[in-house]
Amino acid sequence: MVVFAGQGDARRSMSLLWRSAEPGGPALKPGPKPGLDVDTIVAAGIAVADEEGMAALSMRAVGTRLGRTAMALYTYVPSKSELVDLMHDRVLAELPTEYDTSAGWRPAITEWAGDAWAFYLRHPWVLQVSQARPVLGPNEYARLETVVRILGGIGLEPLRVRRVIAVLFQFVRGMALVATEHRQAAPETGVPDEEWWAQRSALLSEFAPDFTERFPALAALESTASLAAMTEAEAGGAASHMEQEAREAFRVGLGLILDGAEAAVRTDSDGTLHASAGTP
């Protein structure tokens, strides 16, 4: 399920997103606090999505959680489209915006990536909000500003920095999606991972007895890598072997991306021109 942000009325959405300089919500005004407000509705929407998933989110579900009708919410939030935008931007406020760069940009960006990974696992519904059309809220920009501050002075030209940031965002998001899907597979299908793999592995051996001959490189890799992966999963204490695989792929992949960025910085600092500098 993919949800596209920014589907509500543009002016009303942006007004609600930017209604205060405070990242957590609107400025407080004197007088009695109303029984219902935008912050309360957004918090209830986040709770519904965290507990039941994006598919369960509706104005009616949020109203029920608050003991109100869906119609009672529309005075504050015009529709589910605006609500999704507000929810997405609100949870992004959980992410840290300050990282220690005294030891260099790489430890800081590694810590940032770990925080983003944990954030997505706490709020897996966020991964269903498409990045094709960003929310354009204050906390979304704060997240981007944080990474730009870490990487902005690494020694690459601005366009290359922007491309590195894009790779990092999509890599963390993509690997977190894999991990959350591994978490969701068993409860949503009713079949534990071990049972699913055991059944299909047996059938694969039955229907493809020549598997090793047909795919020799893959078979050779798996014969040694699988045992090491199982050992890592046992040591890591993850919810499942497949989730631990995603965690390790995330760790290794992030290292390779940062190795590439460091190599690019060294090349630029040596004064060597890139043939494709300024292009993806």
pLDDT tens-digit readout, 163-180: 999 999 999 999 999 999
d(CA 50, CA 195): 27
**What confidence score (pLDDT) does residue 232 get?**
58
**What confidence score (pLDDT) does residue 59 get?**
97
**What confidence score (pLDDT) does residue 239 get?**
58
> Which regions in the chain score pLDDT beneath 70?
20-34, 227-239, 268-280
**What confidence score (pLDDT) does residue 268 get?**
67
Amino acid (one-letter) located at 36: L
**What confidence score (pLDDT) does residue 34 get?**
57
**What confidence score (pLDDT) does residue 35 get?**
77
**What confidence score (pLDDT) does residue 267 get?**
82
**What confidence score (pLDDT) does residue 152 get?**
86
**What confidence score (pLDDT) does residue 225 get?**
77
d(CA 45, CA 96): 22
**Range 151-158 contact pairs with CB under 8 angstroms and sequence separation of 24 or more:** 151/105, 151/109, 151/261, 153/105, 154/105, 154/261, 154/265, 155/265, 155/268, 155/269, 156/261, 156/264, 156/265, 156/268, 157/268, 157/277, 157/278
CA quadruple 7, 8, 9, 11: dihedral, nearest 10:
-80
